[in-house]
Chains A and B, each alone.
Chain A
Amino acid sequence: MIVDSFLLSVKNLRHRGLRSWLTLLGIFIGVTAVVALISLGNSLQVAVGSQFGVGQTELITIQAGGVSFGPPGSGAVIPLDIDDFRAIEKLSGVERIAGRYLAAGKLEYNDKVVFGYIASVPDGDNRDFIYDQLEKGALKGRLLKDGESGKVFLGYNFYVDKVGLDKVVIPGKNVLINDESFEVIGILEKKGSFMFDNAVYMNDQDVDDLYDYGDEFDAIIVQLKDNDDMDNMKLEIEKALRKSRGVKEGEEDFDVSTPEAMLSTVNGILGGVQAFIIIVALISVFIGALGIVNTMTTSVLERKKEIGIMKSIGARNEHIFMQFFIESGLLGLLGGLVGVIFGTLIGVFGTLGINSWLGADLGINISFGLIFFSLLGSFLIGAVAGIVPAMNASKENPVEALRG
């Protein structure tokens, strides 16, 4: 009986007009949103994460002023100094440590002026440490070496003219930074985050000459011997800094942030966006279900005579009910099917887009379970929406229904 009702419903659906299909928009949009969101999930997290400079290298970053990722230099109340640096360096779990300058600066090229920030690169072992953290090499030219002066390399956005200079900067050209001339020797590969792609990279000594940092730093970055020790080390660093800076617990004028902390911030933001999209999707699906109730009710009225015919040739109430019930479910299923296709396409192209944007190689996260449950869910929503119209149809009196 169910198979028969199914076949009959398919036949009936084939003759449905545009109006019926339009009512499926709600289900379609809802399912598209959910499928796209889940397919993109991982890629989205990496994409947003990279915007906030969450890299794959596990580092602890210490900044003054208690801001996690504020514009460097702006929020520093009492800067980190060499005493703070040494206090951390002494801790046993520290593998490598580097102090960094992240200065706001003015860059002039092609008679245009832009403001950005300058990231320092230290000499010696710590140079490798910073380059490791960048995770990228030179796209054009080369990166800086120890002892070089009057030279810089630039973030990717200078090379593709995204910083507002109206002209690409290529290695070999000179730029004016804070009115001093510097030779551009290379372009860093694309990172996908403005924090890296818009930066000017300069050796420590040059930055100090320009800004006179002395014994102070904008940030201290620490690599641990054992990354599993991250949480514990965060506490130890905080304790050491409280002592060296003479502040009490709860009144810290510095911020020690771990990748997990940054990641959880990112996830928090993403979670909010995802929750919003899910709510919109649910509303769409609900409206879609109402649309199906509407179109099925109309259909029952339009096909009153057909119901009468079916009854006169032997259809029991259950037959009529099943036919409309399944037809309604199939309507939902169709909406869901189109939604799954679109959602998957968004997932695929979204991931490809993020990959080319970040130069990453993220996998596409499509699960057959997701597709199956989306389709099943769509069918059930349609079927549930069809219950009342189908019941009304099945209860039609054959004599009256035949009159049409």
Chain B
Amino acid sequence: MTKKSESVVIELRNVFKHYYMGENIVKAVDGISIKVEKGEFVAIMGPSGSGKSTAMNLVGSLDVPTRGHIFLDGEDISLLSESDLAQIRGKKIGFIFQSFNLIPNLTAKENVMIPMMFQGVDIFEREKIAEDLLSLVELGDRADHYPNELSGGQRQRVAIARSLANDPEVILADEPTGNLDTKTGKIVMEFLEKLNRQGKTIIMVTHEPELAQNHAGIIYSLLDGKVDKITKKNNGFTKVAKEKLKKLKYSGKK
């Protein structure tokens, strides 16, 4: 592999996802190619029905394509079993959902600990990392609260902490501010930007053009299951991320 492709974290190569509903074929994703490089902030945009949710599921390896290949860190994941897929996404991808998707029976800290449990991290280490991550999202004092005791913004920050639990390559955010008011939405976006500046690759799915334009370096606009438009800003990288990437390249790490 060339040095350039080593910096590619996720690649969708001519991917199709068709659903069969009776006699009709729903072409949710109809041949898209997306390449996400390390440290990028990518937005996937589109109106409802454009296939962005399906694309997001494919990018997040929650779903497998009907046709085409998906590479995560250079590995073709389109052929993996569901359990192996789970293992990989648990390790390499952190999810942030519109409706937070915290587990209601568990405290904030326990929610953050769960992804590490699936990776077999020792329980004491899990606790320590979870506490650190909650401090990072400024919720250190809410660690033992249950989700229903937290505000929407706080819940989304717990979700951010959870997405970071296994120190993944990529954070996948599906309408992260969709259920939040403007102010708390802004705070959440600031956290995502901060993470991006620290080198995390962020892929955000949104239907708000403004959000995409304000934060993302590269925007894929989908329409009818196809990539309609690719908008690059600042050459696709934020400045800090670019420097970081350089360092990574020179040190010869993947």
Q: Which residues of A contact B (CB under 8 A)?
A: 1, 4, 8, 11-12, 14-15, 305-306, 308-319, 398-399, 402
* A11-B106 in contact given A309-B101, A316-B86 (Cβ < 8 Å): yes
**Minimum-distance CB pairs A-B, first 10:** A314-B90, A314-B118, A316-B83, A313-B115, A309-B101, A15-B105, A398-B62, A317-B83, A316-B86, A4-B117
Partner of A318, one of B83, B114, B117, B165: B83
With A11-B106, A15-B105, A402-B101 known as contacts, the answer to whether A313 contacts B162 (CB < 8 A) is yes
In the assembled complex, 9 residue pairs joining A and B whose CB atoms fall closer than 8 Å, in A order, are: A4-B117, A12-B105, A14-B105, A314-B90, A316-B83, A318-B83, A399-B57, A402-B97, A402-B101
Instruction: Specify which of B89, B102, B110 is in contact with A314 (CB 8 Å cutoff).
Output: B89
- Interface size for chain B: under 10, 10 to 19, 20 to 34, or 35 or more residues? 20 to 34
Report the bound CA distance from A402 to B56 in whole Å: 13
Give min CB distance, B253 to chain A, whole Å: 23
In the complex, chain B residues whose CB is within 8 Å of the CB of A308 = 101
Shortest distance from the beta carbon of B70 to any chain A beta carbon, whole Å: 14
The CA of A309 and the CA of B120, in the complex, are separated in Å by: 18
Would B119 and A1 count as touching, CB distance under 8 A?
no
- Minimum CB distance partner of B105 in chain A: A15
Q: A14-B105, A317-B83 are in contact. Are A312 and B89 (CB under 8 A)?
A: yes
Judging by beta carbons under 8 Å apart, are A1 and B166 in contact?
no
Say whether B226 faces chain A, with CB atoms less than 8 Å apart: no
The answer for the CA separation of A314 and B89 in the assembled complex, in Å, is 6
Cβ B103 vs Cβ A312 within 8 A: no
Q: How far is the CB of A339 from chain B (nearest CB, A)?
A: 26
Nearest CB of A to B214, in Å = 26
Residues of A close to B90: CB separation below 8 A: 313-315
Partner of A402 from B62, B86, B102 at Cβ < 8 Å: B62
B63 within 8 A of partner (CB): yes
Determine the chain A residues whose CB is within 8 A of the CB of B95 once the complex forms.
312-313
Contact B118 A315 (CB under 8 A): yes
Interface positions, chain B 72-112, Cβ under 8 Å from A, are: 82-84, 86-87, 89-91, 95, 97, 101-106, 110
Query: How near does chain A come to B97, taking the closest CB pair, in angstroms?
Result: 8
Q: Is there a chain A Cβ closer than 8 Å to B236's Cβ?
A: no
How far apart are B54's CB and chain A's nearest CB, in angstroms? 8
Q: Are B62 and A306 in contact (CB under 8 A)?
A: no
